[in-house]
Chains A and B, each alone.
Chain A
Amino acid sequence: MVTASAGDGARPAAAGRAPSGTASSGAASGGPQAADQTDAPLLRLRNIGKSFGPVQALVGVDLDIPAGQVTALVGDNGAGKSTLIKTISGIWERTPGEMLWNGTAVHLHTPKDATDLGIATVYQDLALCDNLDIVQNMLLGHEMRRHGLLDEVNMELTAKRTLADLRVVSVRSIRQPVGSLSGGQRQSVAVAKAVMLDARLVIMDEPTAALGVTQTELVLELIARLKSRGHAVIVISHNLTEVFQVADRLAVLYLGRLVAAGPASDFDTQSAVEVMTTGKSTRVGNGTAGEPAPSRGRDSGTEG
């Protein structure tokens, strides 16, 4: 087993981590993983399955999500990406399979169980209340109280701090109703909300789908900053250009099965599309999860 080298937030290929399968705990530099020097990745999924009646949305998914890295979950429509993240975030209870969080088996019954662990999801529809302002949205469900009443001052300060940490500056006033913000700003608020709750794993479902160029850059920068702070990030995206811009690892789903997983450097756009649409690739080794992709020069010298 390879353990992470200290103070390392760089791309896995260069840092010499094992590709796919047995990737180990991420950056130890001041992020949420600082205290965990275990061998296990932050989240390990084993044989995860989920059916809706006769329809099997997920079958036998084995995936490791390391901290301090961005794992991109890609796949065609209906491949099971949304189902997988809903299972991770407690919305669906998985049928067979187990989830290991920092090496310990966990069982999530509700979204709250997931949030309590430190899993935060930023949804495509953003799950924000338009009639509430930024502070109220960011602290929804986790309000601070003083003498039994809401402590507006401390909540506002906390929200301000988090937004500043993430360098979200485009918002004029933190007391603006969220309904009046642009798409990119709403996305930033949703991400900030996740981060503020000491999320260790941030899941983002199509974060840039409805955004223009500048706002997309905003979000991609945000993702990079999350990574450098030591969070584990899962990003679902259809946009492979963006995926290759931010992702450290790629996981490809095809008809409910995980057909390829590995460092992003193991893939390129063409091979990724091929695996997404056919379930196998003629370019990247054997394309099944749990087995290391063949050494490709930069990865030489590492083995799971």
Chain B
Amino acid sequence: MIRTIEVLFVIIILAGAFIGASYFAVLPAPRQVSPINLNRLSLTTLQMLDSDYDLSRAAFETDNSTVLGQLQVALSASLPPNVIYNLTVYDVNDGGGQLYTSVANFSNAESLGTTSDVSMYTVASSNVTFNVTPEKIGEKSNGGTLYILNCSDANGWWITGYTAQSLAQDLYNLLSPYFVNTVMVQNTSQLAQILIGTPLHGENLQNAVVINTCGEAVPIPTTYCQALYSTDSYAYYSYFLGQRVNLYNWTWASIVGYPFYYVSNTVAFASGQNTWGIYGMQSTGQGGSRAFLEGVNNQSYVSNSNAITDSANRVVTFTQAAIDSCNYYGIYPSIYQTSTRALSNSTMSSYNLKVGFNVFNPSGDYLAGAVYNHVATGSTNITGSLLALGLTRTPDVRVTALSLLSYYQPRLYPSEYTASGTSRLVVLQLGLAGGS
């Protein structure tokens, strides 16, 4: 008998468990089993209302009942009939106290029921200008100077259609925000001054960037238009420049064509021309680049007129890193460029030059555009760099700017988005009409 009683106890316990489980395991309403994603519906509705910035305008005209009425009609018309809503516009405060202050609200129902969800959307006033503050190149590493060779007494070559001065101005506009100091080197005398290590305006000479806007020609101060520097049609002057680049750890930028192919001084070479009718110029030839590389490599000068390019015609494309920089810095030259003076990478490496940044995808051994860093044998320090863009004429200085920015990668700091009076927060809460 006792076992039967025990079984009855078991049945009571099981029945109690079933009743208890049934009581607590309440099945959800069908609406909760398979809900509409109100959060996404709300967000896409706000995006649609702001597709022509009408929501942004309305959010800043909350005391205009006509504008708010139109917004309510548009909202009601675009939502399904069984969806109820509550839209609230908040002003964003930047001072102390309450961060968000409600400035407008409307709804099409007293209550949003048991199931609702919200999305938030920040709109900006049309009166607001958002600034971006760039990081300064070299401000934390004892550098930060940009020299743009804007020499009035030097002519350029392969910059046909432009003058060196107009290119210098464009480069100034593009790059000066990214440097601590931007110095326009107005004539070859000022160039001579920095070559001997004297700053023009108290700027930091070390680790500077020097952009030669004269294309294949390089300005030469009158004081260097004499023996020794005139060796091998002034190839020795290029050697001297290479030594300065090494000494001051400059980054020398050649914007187009074959680097150091000519030297230019309109006073010293007043009667000389480059065989193409451009006076004030002296042809150095292919040996100029070799001499510069010898100078950068801090080796003895050896006359060498072998070419550093094969002069083949190539259509080249930006590397992915350069394309990414286009989007980051908002500079958009064509990703397709034509190169006829791509430099031989193996030749460059024989001067202890390593690629620091590839602007264009390589074509075999040839690089149409790259920043080369000189790292002496047995050292890990960079002692001089060369940006060589072996593109054909005429130059697009946006490529130069993009190359330098891609190499140095200064960051951009956007201004505060939630500044007082410039932003408002629109909150759209959606619910479903009817019972639960």
- Asked whether A and B interact, the reply is no
B residues with CB within 8 A of A: none
